[in-house]
Structures are given as C-alpha cells and as structure tokens.
Amino acid sequence: MFLQSMNTILFHLLILMTMQSIVIVLSSCPTGWVKWRQSCYVLLPEKMNWMQADAACKRPGSNLILPDSKEENDFIFKWAVKGNDGMWIGCTDAVQEGVWLCGGQPARFTNWWYPYDPHNDTRLNCARMTVYSGGVWSDSVSCQSTEHKVAACEMPVPIVPIYHTLLGPDGRVSEYCPLNHVIDNLAVEGVIACGRACTSDPHCRSFNVWQSSEKEKKCQLNNVTFLEEDHSDFIEGCVYFEL
C-alpha cells in the first residue's frame, strides 16, 4: 500500500523518530571480506588519499585498517601491500604533532621506518605501510595528497548484532525506505542475504528490502543512515535496515 496523503507521510516519519529496533545477528565475515584470526578485512575498490580512506571505512564496528602486532603487519603486507605502492593505515598525529594515535588510541604496536620516520612536520600527519622491509611505516605523504594509495577496512569478526530494522511505538515494522541514496539493486532470497550484501560493500550504510515474489526479494543498498537522511524521499512498501 502506498501513501495517500502528506498527513500519512508525517505520521509515519514521527513513528520512525520514536523507533525501537529488531536486531539480526551475523557471526562470520561478510562475503568478500578476508578473515585473519578474529578480524575481517576488505580492500576498497579504488585508490584514494588518507582522509577519503578513513571516511570510507567509518561505519559501525569498522575502521581504516590498523596493524596491532608484527604478525598482523606481516599478514596485511603479504595480503594487500606487496606488489602495490603502499597502503594507508589508521594512524595519525593530526590532533597534536608528534603524538600518534592509531584508531583514536595510543598505538599498541608501531613499525616506523627508522631513522626516517615519523617526520616532525605539521604537513605530514598520516601513516601508510610501505613496500619496503616487509611493511615498515612512513608518514612522508600528506593526508590529502593527490598521490592516492590502496586502502582497506577492518572489523572484528561479527559475533554481535550488526544490523537492525526500525519499529514504531505500536511494535510494527516500519514500511518506509529512502530512494535517492541507492548505490546498488540486487535480487536476493531474503533479509539475511541483503544484509550480507550491505556488509560486504564498504560504501553501504543501510539497505531496503522489497517483496517481489514469494521466493525472491529486491534488495537496495544505500549510502546513508536514517539520521543522515532528511526523510524527504521516503516511500512506503518496503522494510529498511541499518548496519
């Protein structure tokens, strides 16, 4: 059933703003992600600067790749850096020159290319893993450099809820989805498959599920969340989920 009046639109948006949620659990790496120990990794499809890579990886439970040990550094180097021209990692001293934070916290492990790095230079604030000496780190390129590098996202192997749908005060699932932020359309067997497709795509932040037949559903991947969307393009007839 589709909307009949603006009053109906406003009513349902109010329900969404007072939402509760139903949570769905995934307990393995999403399709397309590589598992190493208790983490999942995925290469971004294009090269970019550090700022772009950091923004692309910021979703619930995910961040720009960050080696926490020599073993993880070796794994990342062999998996994605060797054969490329370096990879951005989630360490920066942009807040305070010389004070390096990795994932927003003091680093538990570093692999700087001594005696050359890190530089005491306010223009150089972001780290990358180089192709040298098995993956030593350097900050010799600006965070916003036009010299783009390979980037990858990392997250723990999901053993907790990773996406949910919105409920109104009456306990019913909302049937409204955004339409102007769709980045991909897929045919899937159900909600779990659509959720896996979203978690597999680094650009996906939420997804819409439409009933197209008894055995098949239409899955739309979105690049925004409910709070990021102005709700002007929401339409009735599907179920919306967020990571």
Q: Which of 7-16, 77-86, 174-183 has the lowest mean pLDDT?
A: 7-16
Distance CA 240, CA 170 (A): 17
Distances (CA, A) of 15 to 20, 167, 198: 10, 8, 25
Residues 95-104, mean pLDDT to the nearest whole number: 92
List the 20-25 sheet strands across, edge first: 20-25, 161-167, 239-242, 206-211, 217-222, 182-188
> Which residue type, as a one-letter code, is found at position 241?
F
Parse the chain into domains and list their residue ranges: 6-27+162-242, 34-156
Residues 112-124, mean pLDDT to the nearest whole number: 90
pLDDT band at residue 31 under the 50/70/90 scheme:
confident
Element (H, E) at 122: none
pLDDT, averaged across the chain = 83
Distance CA 13, CA 16 (A): 5
Q: Which of 69-73, 138-142, 226-230 has the lowest mean pLDDT?
A: 226-230
pLDDT band at residue 118 under the 50/70/90 scheme:
very high
Residues 17-41, mean pLDDT to the nearest whole number: 73
CATH homologous superfamily of 34-156: Mannose-Binding Protein A, subunit A (3.10.100.10)
Distance CA 205, CA 214 (A): 26
pLDDT band at residue 229 under the 50/70/90 scheme:
confident
Which pLDDT score is estimated for 159? Answer: 62
Give the global pTM.
Answer: 0.64
The residue with greater pLDDT, 216 or 210, is 210
pLDDT of residue 55 exceeding 90, the answer is: yes
CATH homologous superfamily of 6-27+162-242: Hepatocyte Growth Factor (3.50.4.10)
Distance CA 240, CA 115 (A): 52
